[in-house]
Amino acid sequence: MTETVQINALENEAIYIFREVAAQFEKPVLLFSGGKDSITLVRLAQKAFHPAKIPFPLMHIDTGHNFPETIEFRDRLVEELGLELIVRNVQDSIDQGKVKEESGRYSSRNMLQTTTLLDAIEEFKFDACIGGARRDEEKARAKERIFSVRDDFGQWDERNQRPELFDMLNGEIDFGQNVRVFPISNWTELDVWTYIEREVLEIPSIYFAHKREVFLRDGLIWSASEHVYRDEEEEVEERMVRFRTVGDMSCTAAVDSYATTISKVVEEIRDSSISERGARIDDKRSEAAMEERKQQGYF
Amino acid sequence: MEVLKIATAGSVDDGKSTLIGRLLYDTKSLTSDKLEAIERSSKQKGYDYLDFSLATDGLVAEREQGITIDVAHIYFSTATKSYIIADTPGHVEYTRNMVTGASTSQVAIILIDARHGVIEQTYRHFFINNLLRVKDVIVAVNKMDLVDFSEERYNEIKNEFQKLVEKSDYEDQNITFIPVSALKGDNVVDKSKIMSWYSGNTLLEHLEKIDTADIYNRGKARFPVQYVIRPKTEEYHDYRGYAGKVYGGSISVGDEVIVLPSETKTKVKEIYFYDKKYETAARRSSVTLTLENDVNVSRGDMIVKVGELPKVEKTLTATISWMDAKQLVPGSKYVLQHGVNKVLAKVSAINNKINPDYSGIETGVTGLQMNDIASVSFQLNKPIFFDAFKEHRTNGAFILIDPQSNSTAGVGFIE
């Protein structure tokens, strides 16, 4: 026992943020998608509060169009770590007539999630929602704060953000407002993968190269599934692919890959010349797609 | 991986975004889809070169106006370091963003347009990096291509800037001059072939050589308690862990410490990081401490070493950088957040306004407007445990929160 705690700047920063959330808020929740970023968040939260349990629940907004591998993984992780999981379904919002299912070639439930999320925040009176968004992902996210205040309608006002100075996080809010918290704001995709490798974290199998039924559209590789609209002339083929993000099947494209282990994935990311969100169909809608969704209350 | 945070400062047309874009391009950090988007957009606008500024200008309003509004964060890495650039705007009205960017950075890049030399803005940029005690300042003399890569012009600007450095009271600040052309790529990542008269490092070479372990200003060890961990399980029945981040210096098992404000003396019993025990917690590590004696410790308390006490006072004077549209006037009340500790503060006096261009002070000021910098005295409802900012970059800073709007209205550097 002669060691010194090694300084891992990003990990230390994230742990500090988690502790600020637990101290400053009454009802925090960790938004969990089953993806690599939220898996990383869970490990960081464990580290922040050990030997106590993580002092808040996880919540998944389930579109019903997830990859089955992700859902199976989610349930196993929650069980193994003894965590509390809340699931709210986009299907319920559709059934209640609050949102309308999109139709056509590019239909997706991605946009519909926002309503279900905002309803759940109100239902449970959550005052802090912890998410795995990173500033390197997308240009609108590059301006996001670590503590990002949302008004009573869950909306983001990017012109009126609080300055964040030194380590000091201002979590003062009025009743009805909530704060979105991003502990891994300063991590890059490669940082996340390197961390998963170092911590030997388990992740859903779709992150590794596997054979899958896919079809090509607009230069992207789409999953062939009942949840994804496909024209008759769009031919299905089998390909070795993996996914870099785990959004819905309808908005997440695959990439060609032979990376079957974490270390091969890390190597691939290091050499990759396409950005992570380059395979996100939801971002391709327009130059400002993310910014517009964020203003409405998206993750 | 080492992480280095960099703040940039420059006037509207100094080519800051182009410099950052060039840095990303030459380090092969721009992915092919981003590069394509830049090529497409540059072509659309009819430029005959790549408009790198598009790599950093994020929000819709910025794309419309072609300017950077807020602090944006840009990431790139080399084999040895991860870099985070806080790209802050350079207009007069945005002092608050520059202060914000500099507060989390260890390195600052100040851009100067070689055609215009040192201008009033440059004074302001240097003043802020001085005020915030940013250790390493790089003065990038940009657009050298537009002054025929002239060594004479470069030296002229260097001499002008040196006069500014003489006004500084921060002797440990490292200042480095580099002649660059961000547009053409000279001395950003690759050495300039044309400016053979310059024998120093390129911008990236300089950044690569900075020792990240040494770039944080040292001070006395301060451990503000963030959160008390009480698992209440069979295995950890009596466990009381104090979670927080170590600032200034390291803390080891067996150290004799004092808990403030109770002034109880005890010893550090264990240091935990996750499920492992350690002998020492280095500065800037987020750890959990347990103490020998059963003392009452809560969030906002501070653990320090015996013989290294900070000031414990209910009044203080600080240099304030004001960031709110609502004025600060004598008598106004705020929540003062010092690290993780919160107290109530009342403005007892505005002593004077400080001109951020080194032209002196103004007295008889009745209120502070956004972007003003001034010396202000406060009265607190409870004592806080602080150091002068010049001696401790973390324990000497606080923010002021407006109790009505909850906004972060200003930042203070304790004198």
Residue B74: which of A5, A52, A142 has the nearest Cβ?
Answer: A142
Higher pLDDT, B214 or B16: B16
Q: What kind of fold does domain B222-305 have according to CATH? A: Elongation Factor Tu (Ef-tu); domain 3 (2.40.30)
pLDDT at B63 over 70: no
What pLDDT, on the 0 to 100 scale, is given for residue B18? Answer: 86
Strands B333-338 and A4-5: unpaired
Alpha-carbon distance of B228 to B226, in angstroms, equals 7
How does pLDDT run across B160-207, given as a tens digit for each residue? Answer: 999 999 999 898 899 999 999 998 999 999 999 999 999 999 999 999
Return the residue of B nearest to A286 by Cα.
B60
What pLDDT, on the 0 to 100 scale, is given for residue B217? Answer: 65
Burial of residue A87 (CB within 10 Å: 0-12, 13-18, 19+) is middle
pLDDT category of residue B65 using cuts at 50, 70 and 90: low
What pLDDT, on the 0 to 100 scale, is given for residue A277? Answer: 64
Alpha-carbon distance of B334 to B124, in angstroms, equals 27
CA distance B337 to chain A (A): 8
Return the residue of B nearest to A5 by Cα.
B281
For B328-346, what is the mean pLDDT? 98
For B255-271, what is the mean pLDDT? 97
Q: Do A165 and B411 touch (CB under 8 A)?
A: yes
pLDDT category of residue B42 using cuts at 50, 70 and 90: confident
Alpha-carbon distance of B16 to B121, in angstroms, equals 14
How does pLDDT run across B70-88, given as a tens digit for each residue? Answer: 677 888 888 888 999 988 7
Q: Which residue has the tokens 């009025």?
A: A174
For B93-97, what is the mean pLDDT? 75
Alpha-carbon distance of A114 to A156, in angstroms, equals 13
How does pLDDT run across A53-65, given as a tens digit for each residue? Answer: 999 999 999 988 8
| Architecture of the domain whose range is A9-191+288-296 | 3-Layer(aba) Sandwich (3.40)
Residue ranges covered by each domain of chain A: 9-191+288-296, 205-282
Q: Do B31 and A274 touch (CB under 8 A)?
A: yes
Count CB neighbours of B333 within 10 A: 16
What pLDDT, on the 0 to 100 scale, is given for residue B35? Answer: 80
For A237-249, what is the mean pLDDT? 87
Alpha-carbon distance of A91 to B32, in angstroms, equals 37
Which numeric CATH code is attached to B2-209? Answer: 3.40.50.300
Whether the CB of B401 is below 8 Å from some CB of chain A: the reply is yes
CA distance A238 to chain B (A): 25
CA distance A119 to chain B (A): 24
Which numeric CATH code is attached to B311-414? Answer: 2.40.30.10
* pLDDT above 90 coverage of chain B, percent: 69
Residue B286: which of A12, A188, A287 has the nearest Cβ?
Answer: A12
Which ranges of B312-366 would DSSP assign to H, the alpha helix?
A: none
pLDDT category of residue B69 using cuts at 50, 70 and 90: low
CB < 8 Å to A179, chain B: none
Strands A128-130 and A28-31: parallel
CA distance A164 to chain B (A): 6
pLDDT category of residue B13 using cuts at 50, 70 and 90: confident
CB < 8 Å to B394, chain A: 166-167
For B345, the 3-state DSSP assignment is: strand
For A283-289, what is the mean pLDDT? 61
Alpha-carbon distance of A234 to B283, in angstroms, equals 58
Q: What is the pTM of this model?
A: 0.93
Which ipTM did the prediction report? 0.93
User: Which residues of chain B form CATH 2.40.30.10?
Assistant: 222-305, 311-414
Mean pLDDT, chain B, whole residue set: 90
Q: Do residues B373 and B308 touch, judged by C-beta distance below 8 A?
A: no
How does pLDDT run across B267-310, given as a tens digit for each residue? Answer: 999 999 999 999 999 989 999 999 999 899 999 999 999 999 99
What pLDDT, on the 0 to 100 scale, is given for residue B213? Answer: 73
Token pair for residue B115? 């055609």
Residue A4: which of B245, B280, B299 has the nearest Cβ?
Answer: B280
pLDDT at A271 over 60: yes
What pLDDT, on the 0 to 100 scale, is given for residue B36? Answer: 81
| Residue at B52: amino acid letter | F
For A117-121, what is the mean pLDDT? 94
Burial of residue B260 (CB within 10 Å: 0-12, 13-18, 19+) is buried
The phi and psi torsions of B4 (rounded to 5 degrees) equal -125, 125
User: Which residues of chain B form CATH 3.40.50.300?
Assistant: 2-209
* Lowest-confidence pick of A238-252, B297-311, B350-364: A238-252
Q: Do A3 and B279 touch (CB under 8 A)?
A: yes
CA distances from A271 to B24, B29, B32, B341 (A): 15, 10, 12, 44
Cβ–Cβ pairs < 8 A, chains A and B: 186
CB < 8 Å to B286, chain A: 11-13, 15-16, 19, 48
* pLDDT above 90 coverage of chain A, percent: 56
How does pLDDT run across A175-196, given as a tens digit for each residue? Answer: 889 999 999 999 998 899 999 9
Higher pLDDT, B337 or B79: B337
pLDDT category of residue B327 using cuts at 50, 70 and 90: very high
